Structure 1
């Protein structure tokens, strides 16, 4: 079976890559959540770790069913929860009793995570664009959007960890009418 230039086995191989990436990212986020002393960094890493694990579970279910049925599954629940990662930074940063910059390891980890998410979004966008199956396209479009949101939230977190006072000033200013 050919799906716009890619045979089914190539699509399954692409899902294997996605599975490996999602689990590697999950483990990376868990490890950094445990390592960091920064409450904002910890909350962000924990939230994304949970979302990456959910993506892994959905992709695994999809892969197993697709491999058995030799076509895009009709019955696999392919929805994933909407991400709340954008809210995590704001909620934790506003509640933090002290404004704490990240250390060098936090900044390095955030930058690695930003790279993961950029590559993940591009990968899922490619899978979406190479498919002609509407359910497949919609699923990979959803994952693309979530990875893009992770990317944007991690960029905000990077800004917070490098300059918490500047981040607070910017977010407080953007909340004022007419500013």
Structure 2
């Protein structure tokens, strides 16, 4: 299997071939410089880095090669408000936005599917066919507000590991919410069979949660500074309450007489909502390690839902609902 860097190089070389452009050592040097550097590189930044490897490389060569990276889908041009065009990684990177400090030029990347959805709704309302868009917030960062010394100009850039970390945090929060719901439901009902069913489902959630936590801890142990990186993927936690009602809402849903079959029906409804939500959510992202976490979680939710539906069929002799 090709690594991501090798895939990106193939994309660029195929582009050169398709457009009758020569593949030269200097173009490859610019490509390598760009691929090895996270962040937002200007032409000047790239030129200075490339010159450290090849003193003969020209500014125009760097500029034209960066433009070719944009044309073939490896890079995207961004304007961070300082009058300089910059280039950021685009191939299989999730679409994102920027918060920019006008004092120290620190830039933070972020993604919010709620914001993306709102933008899509506005576009549909006005009947537009979107070509591209950017969303940037300019202001003063926390360090500059407090005039902290030692504040360095820097860019917090997203990469696969940050996105993967945030994706794992979301599904772990989701599993925790489900576990709390089923445990509270088991405590609330006095019906023995209903309590047993909720407890069984809670144990299944606990096992799945343990697997996710192991993945998360391994990721952090292999990347020592990852836990301190700014949040990239922003998620509205209120969505969790729509699928797994909070503790105070449980008495409205479950009473002391809730039996095994009723408990199973409640669980099927919750797991179906969970499966359908994450199926839609995963589709919003380009292929990446973060997206694969959501896809994997969706598949696990589907399997859990299917097993609950089979249990319902065993108890009643009829289907609960159409399987996903």
Structure 2 length normalisation: TM-score? 0.32
Q: Are residues 66 and 155 of structure 1, via their aligned partners in 2, closer, same or farther at CA, if it must alter by over 3 Å?
A: farther
* Structure 2 Cα separation of the partners of residues 147 and 104 of structure 1: 24
Match in the other structure for 1:3 = 94
Please list the CA deviations of residues 80-103 of structure 1 after superposition, one character each: whole Å capped at 9, or x if unmatched: xxxxxxxxxxxxxxxxxxxxxxx7
Match in the other structure for 1:51 = 207
User: How far off its partner does 1:46 sit?
Assistant: 4.0
Count of matched residue pairs: 134
Contact persistence 2:94–2:285 (CA under 8 A): yes
Q: Name stretches of at least 5 consecutive residues in structure 1 with no aligned partner.
A: 73-102, 168-179
Q: Are residues 18 and 46 of structure 1, via their aligned partners in 2, closer, same or farther at CA, if it must alter by over 3 Å?
A: closer
The structure 2 residue matched to 1:30, chosen from 155, 173, 183, is 183
Match in the other structure for 1:68 = 229
User: How far off its partner does 1:32 sit?
Assistant: 4.6
Contact persistence 1:33–1:45 (CA under 8 A): no
Higher RCO structure (Cα 8 Å, ≥6 apart) = 1
Q: Greater helix share, 1 or 2?
A: 1
Match in the other structure for 2:174 = 21
The structure 1 residue matched to 2:283, chosen from 129, 148, 151, is 129
Match in the other structure for 2:263 = 109
* Structure 2 Cα separation of the partners of residues 122 and 67 of structure 1: 32
* Structure 2 Cα separation of the partners of residues 16 and 124 of structure 1: 14
* Structure 1 Cα separation of the partners of residues 264 and 297 of structure 2: 20
> What is the aligned-residue RMSD (CA, Å)?
4.2
* Structure 1 Cα separation of the partners of residues 314 and 258 of structure 2: 13
* Structure 2 Cα separation of the partners of residues 126 and 59 of structure 1: 23
Give the SS at the match of 1:50: helix
Q: Are residues 144 and 118 of structure 1, via their aligned partners in 2, closer, same or farther at CA, if it must alter by over 3 Å?
A: same
User: How far off its partner does 1:54 sit?
Assistant: 3.0
* Structure 2 Cα separation of the partners of residues 20 and 139 of structure 1: 14
Q: Greater strand share, 1 or 2?
A: 2
For structure 1, which segment, 3-12 or 43-52, has the greater mean C-alpha deviation from structure 2 after superposition? 3-12
* Structure 2 Cα separation of the partners of residues 49 and 56 of structure 1: 11
Match in the other structure for 2:300 = 146
Contact persistence 1:121–1:144 (CA under 8 A): yes
User: How far off its partner does 1:125 sit?
Assistant: 1.8
